[in-house]
Amino acid sequence: MEKLHIRKDGRAGRITFTRPQALNALDHEMALAVTRALNDWRDDPQVELVLIDAEGDRAFCAGGDIAAIYHAGRAGDFAAGAGFFADEYRMNALIAEYPKPVVAFMHGFVMGGGVGVGGHASHRIVGDSTRIAMPESGIGLIPDVGGSWLLAHAPGRMGEYLTLTGARMGPGDAIAAHFADTYLPEAQWPALKEKLAETGDVGLIVGAPPPEAPIAGADLSAYGGRDLAAIVRAVNASGDKDGDAAKALARNSPLSMAAGLALVRAARADDSVRDALAREYRFTSRAAEFGDFLEGVRAQIIDKDRQPRWRHAGAGDVTKDEVDAMLAPLGPNELWKE
C-alpha cells in the first residue's frame, strides 16, 4: 500500500506511514491495514515487538483524513463516517491491549488519529520536533481515538485544559501529561530502531532528561469549573482574557467543548480504554448529522475561511440535555456489541 509500508524486519513487525505530503493522515483503508498487520503478528513467533514510525520531517500522523467523511455527510450519507470511526477505534483498542510491545516513534505533528496510533503504544518515544495535540473541538468533534482516556489520566487539570483549548504539547509536556514515555534526540532514533529490530529487546530504550514542561507547570485551576461556562468565566477572570487559551475557548465549537469536558471527566472512572472509546463513538457517530462537524470541516479544511457558524453562540448556550443527547447509548449500534 502506498500509504503504509508494512513488513517484518528481523524480530520486529514494522508499520511506517508513507504519505508525508498529507502529513501522514490516517484514512479508513490505513486503519484496516494496521489492524490486519497486528492480528497477523499477534501469534507470529518471529515478531517479538511492533515498531511504528513515519516518513517525512513534519508529522508522525497529523490526524484522520476526514475530507471523505465530510463529503459523504454533505450528501446525506452519515454511515460512512460512523463506519470509519468504528474501525479506527477498534484499531486503537487493539494497540492499547496488544500482548507484545509496541514502540511508537512520534516526531513532528501528532494529532487526533495520530494520537490514537502512537498514544496507546506501550513504549512512546518523542523528540524535539514533537507537537502533540487533540484539537478536535475546532472542527466540531471531541477528543476521540481514546483521547478522552489519555486526557483523563493527565495530572491535575491538564486534561481539561488540553481538551478545551487543543493546545500543543512539546516533548516535555507530552511526558508530563502521560501521552509519551521517553524523550530521545531524534538523531539517535535510526540506530535505536535498528537495534530494536535486531534484538526485539525494548530494554534498549533508554531516554534522556526531557525538556521543560510549561503547560504542566502552569496554574490550570480555572479548568476545574463545574461546567464549560464556569471554566470560560474563570479563565476570563484570571487575566488571560486576551491569551491563547481564552481565544481558543471563544473560537472552538461550544457543543464539542462541552461534550469533550464531559467525556474526559467520565473517563476518569472507566476501567479501560474501551469504555472511553465507546462513549466517544456515541458522539462521533452523531457528529455529522446532529453536531458541528460538517460546519467545522467546511470552515477549517474545505473553504478555509476560518469562520465557522456553530450551532451555539457561546459556552453558556449549550445545555446539559444537548450534551446528554450526543452521548446517549446507541442501542444496537454501540461500538462494542454484547
Question: Rounded mean pLDDT of 131-157?
Answer: 97
Q: How many other β-carbons are positioned within 10 Å of the β-carbon of residue 166? A: 23
CB contact set of 293 (below 8 Å; sequence gap of 6+)? 70, 73, 81, 139, 140, 141, 284, 287
Percent of the chain with pLDDT over 90: 95
Asked whether residue 276 is assigned to any structural domain, the reply reads: no
Mean residue pLDDT of the chain comes to 96
Question: Rounded mean pLDDT of 329-336?
Answer: 96
Asked whether residue 186 is assigned to any structural domain, the reply reads: yes
The pLDDT-based confidence of 149 (bands split at 50, 70, 90) is very high
pTM summary value: 0.96
Domain of 54 in residue numbering reads as 4-134+167-204
Percent of the chain with pLDDT over 70: 99
Give me the sheet containing 182-183, strands edge to edge.
4-9, 12-17, 49-54, 102-106, 123-126, 182-183
Asked whether residue 176 is assigned to any structural domain, the reply reads: yes
Q: Minimum mean pLDDT among 201-215, 238-252, 305-319: which range?
A: 238-252
CB contact set of 221 (below 8 Å; sequence gap of 6+)? 157, 234
Asked whether residue 117 is assigned to any structural domain, the reply reads: yes
Residue 180: helix, strand or coil by DSSP?
Answer: coil
Structural domain count, the chain: 1
pLDDT of 241: 64
The pLDDT-based confidence of 64 (bands split at 50, 70, 90) is confident
Q: Alpha-carbon distance 90 to 69, whole Å?
A: 18
The pLDDT-based confidence of 179 (bands split at 50, 70, 90) is very high
pLDDT of 239: 73
pLDDT of 24-46, one tens digit each? Answer: 999 999 999 999 999 999 999 99
pLDDT of 338: 59
More confident residue, 335 or 240: 335
Unique residue bearing C-alpha cell 495535540: 133
Residue 240 has pLDDT above 90, yes or no: no
Asked whether residue 263 is assigned to any structural domain, the reply reads: no
CATH of the domain at 48: 3.90.226.10
Q: Are 210 and 146 in contact (CB under 8 A)?
A: no
Asked whether residue 275 is assigned to any structural domain, the reply reads: no
pLDDT of 233: 94
Asked whether residue 108 is assigned to any structural domain, the reply reads: yes
Asked whether residue 14 is assigned to any structural domain, the reply reads: yes
pLDDT of 39: 98
Q: Minimum mean pLDDT among 4-13, 16-25, 78-87, 241-250: which range?
A: 241-250
